[in-house]
Chain A
């Protein structure tokens, strides 16, 4: 390996690392606010890529069916809950938030199917149709057991991932997709070619991280979320509703996942089940950040990306083995540096 190859690998690694940054930040955000380790996060990324590819191919994306099923389930659960609590007056509101709002983007896609929309419209529609998935899953799967221990929530998350990837095959089929490049531009920096796509990915990661920073520091919802992540009970006593902050966390997290899906679609071939591995690599980054620190998470994710790129060069077969094995020394280091409160469960 000469320095030229090393430079190319590093740039490649930073680009895929930037994608992991987006997912990892979403992981940390959702975990901090809801204590849910949202394993299916990577699936959301993969579904975004698949949806975008369907729109490019003038096909009806499977996402529509998936959102419709989830929205119907969530609406039924919500109406049943309101009926039992004898609050029938709130049913129209529930219908709007759980049925109309999630299905609106799906309806637009359905109506415009067969025509090739401009690239920007495709991206906006893809993000809009993907956004409701995670909050709806939160309503259906997690809210009934919101007070369980982190471990029970984690087991549910892993099970949910398998349910989703199975559904992914059903709705999207087994073919892998790769979308058109967003930018056809290659710069030569210090003798090394840097693709416009890579630059776009890194720029987006920085942009979204900055957006999140603004959200946390300058908006009331952001501050409420931040408060919840630091002290759940305290936030609740201050009148911050945990259900609402949970939904917002899932929405913001989904935005990050959707962005990463849009960005990864032109660089990697994505299959219905690619999300798990992508999500886990981002998770390695999140663990480096101790699941709490956003900046360290970003550095950790970039490190995972670079490592992956070098590992792929050295031995493409053992790429995944190398990346996941690195988690072990990282954990060892973390176990000595991380002071984590012992979770006292009541058996």
Chain B
């Protein structure tokens, strides 16, 4: 398929959708309406599960909160459906924010299981509150009216549903392509990475959770005014798993997957409802869920990626040019060369009875490359983790740029101007090189959820992309910025990590064994790069194993052994020190 065919297909599909009510039977239009309504929930799950990696079994109950909110406002209290929409959004948002704040810290399967529990709690509440009609629900929900026109017919509310859906998809697409969206996409795979460039992972998780709930709230609102009747049954855990199935079968990382999945499952459900009474009269209601659950299990066993990725392999990659020229991003004030930048004062760390780091002190001066070396088990990594906020020290003090950062969280230390790389290169393999480096610039940019979704961030985004491209060029990876990071060999992955760290414009660059696993030529190139950076005034602290690499490169060395500082000085003095020789060689020859 050529790009032109893709555009044509897209245009025809949109046209077909717009004119659908004109030539389709009312029953089919109603089916399309429900597909649109369910697509909102699936869209939220694409964001939540497919993108950020949080599995929720409670989405149907959020939909229920919204549907009941609007049904109560309109049918019981007699206000306008638009006031119902407002109340639905506020109620769902509040419930989601409270539940999210409590359960999102847990992450992983604890989060998912707790969604089942509060999903059930909400479901039982709907059926037991007399003011909400208990198990009978609320009937006579009015239709939505726009400028005095009541949208009673299925062909009328159709435009409201699909118009809102397309708008929501557009906004979410923009969001994912923005600063916050990149951080959100990087959440999957752990907090350690995102926090290292200044992202408050918990905050982003919570915001994503609320955005997904808001999409679900719109769905609940539309459902109430489409169905004109609300009862507890459609909002139980069964419904939630069907929504999850929609999002995953469509292709859980893709916005279009939500619509494809919702369409497929809704049509299938309709078909099964026609078919089952013929096969098993009497038990069809329960057999329906058996069929769905079995299909879902088989799908998860054999084709977990979903439909969209399967189709996407035939669709050509859009041709994207290099990011255009733009002004610079704001830079941090750098201290004058030679002044004290970081001082570590009698820091120590115990793991139970084991003292991993014992009262170690040293300073890092601006403009130098300082290496922290030592044999295996010397406590280098523990030291590194305490400096970067991955591990709180048991005692002592770390001062950076005259601020006390002892025991601060990783993203706070990143905010203060420390950028790091990881011993085992941590990248997001399914994101492009450019996106990976852009993650590093998170702390230097400001756009939030709203400006990202509404595209108010474009000027800043251009500057950020230009900066990221500059750093890619600098480490020598500028020829293919849209390659996926997962395709790089190990040596280039380390360079990409350095480019990402440089995009943060750090005051201090901290590298964890950057030469490990590199070939000789790659090590020489890396050493050259680090020298160039030093010439530009960049302060670098590196933890390293490879003595050859360190000796010809750094200004000063701190040697650790068994958790204590052995000595400190220029490469020459350290090399001559008998204690160091003993530590490394087990004795003086």
Residues of chain A having any CB pair with chain B under 8 Å: 37, 141, 144-145, 150-152, 154-156, 158-163, 165-167, 169-170, 276-277, 280, 283-284, 287, 291, 317-318, 320-321, 324-325, 327-329, 331-332, 334-335, 338, 340, 342-347
Contacts and interface: CB of A to CB of B under 8 A. Distances in A.
B99 A328 contact: yes
Nearest to B57: A158
Interface in B173-211: 188-192
A320 B237 CA distance: 14
Nearest to A140: B297
Nearest to A169: B286
B307 interface: no
B287 A150 contact: no
B328 interface: no
Given A320-B121, A331-B106, A347-B188, A163 B99 contact: no
Contact of B429 (A158, A287, A340, A347): A347
Main secondary structure of the interface of A (DSSP, over half): helix
Interface residues of B, number: 51
Given A156-B300, A162-B292, A321 B121 contact: yes
Contacts of A342: 107, 190-192
A159 B297 contact: yes
B106 A334 contact: yes
Interface of B: 53, 55, 57, 99, 102-103, 105-110, 112-114, 116-118, 120-121, 124-125, 128, 188-192, 237-238, 241, 244-245, 248, 283, 286-290, 292-294, 296-297, 300-301, 304, 428-430
Contacts of A155: 55, 241, 244, 248, 296, 300
Contacts of B292: 162
B116 A280 contact: yes
Contact of A325 (B118, B248, B286, B294): B118
B192 A156 contact: no
A161 B241 CA distance: 11
A343 B108 contact: yes
A343 to B, nearest CB: 6
A344 B190 contact: yes
A341 B98 CA distance: 25
B106 A335 contact: yes
A324 B117 contact: yes
B191 A162 contact: no
Closest 9 CB pairs of A and B: A163-B293, A166-B290, A324-B121, A335-B105, A162-B293, A169-B286, A166-B286, A317-B128, A159-B293
A241 B298 CA distance: 25
A48 B344 CA distance: 64
A347 B51 CA distance: 9
A327 B114 contact: yes
A345 B429 CA distance: 12
B301 to A, nearest CB: 5
Contact of B430 (A291, A338, A347): A347
Contact of B103 (A166, A328, A345): A328
Given A158-B241, A321-B124, A321-B125, A345 B53 contact: yes
A170 B189 contact: no
A161 B120 CA distance: 15
A191 to B, nearest CB: 35
A259 B514 CA distance: 57
Contacts of A280: 116-117, 120
A80 to B, nearest CB: 14
Given A166-B286, A325-B121, A151 B189 contact: no
B381 to A, nearest CB: 17
A280 B112 CA distance: 13
A141 B300 CA distance: 10
Contacts of B241: 155, 158-159, 162
Given A163-B293, A324-B121, A347-B430, A151 B192 contact: no
A333 B103 CA distance: 10
23 contacts: A141-B297, A145-B300, A151-B108, A154-B55, A154-B109, A155-B244, A156-B297, A159-B245, A159-B300, A166-B288, A280-B116, A287-B110, A287-B113, A287-B114, A320-B120, A329-B102, A331-B114, A334-B106, A335-B105, A340-B108, A342-B190, A342-B192, A347-B188
